[in-house]
Amino acid sequence: MHEQVTGYNVSAIPMDSDRYPEYHHWTIKVEWTGRERWAVRRYGDVFCRTDGRRRIPRGIYEPTPSGRTDYFLRTYRFTLDEALALARRIAPKVVCMNKTAEQYAAWIDAQRAEREQPA
């Protein structure tokens, strides 16, 4: 038997579909790409180091394997530690539905509190 971890999910909010049903929109994936290299992805986009410094990270659409140049691989592939650190920097900055993860969580929690108040 052989086992290998091939991915991690990083999110700025709890990955709890009962509490935050749309949490996956703010989730960054760190995925093994072979040869001890990892990619940082969200949907079809892949991120590089400079995305971690941007106010709103913008990945690029990942080219097909035959379109991945040596430059691309140097820029968009990392060690596991580097990839996880980058994902942790990007996750709180992701904007979806005009909200960051923190804003989305606060919005959901406020809606839940409003529904649970006695009439």
Per residue in 5-24, pLDDT (tens digit) is: 999 999 999 999 999 999 99
Confidence (pLDDT) at 119: 65
pTM for the structure as a whole: 0.89
Report the C-alpha gap between 51 and 18 in whole angstroms. 30
E strands within the chain?
Answer: 7-11, 27-34, 37-42, 45-46, 60-61
| Residue 60, phi then psi, degrees to nearest 5 | -115, 155
Strand partners, 45: 42, 61
Mean pLDDT of 69-77: 95
Report the C-alpha gap between 116 and 104 in whole angstroms. 18
Query: pLDDT of 19-39, one tens digit each?
Result: 999 999 999 999 999 999 999
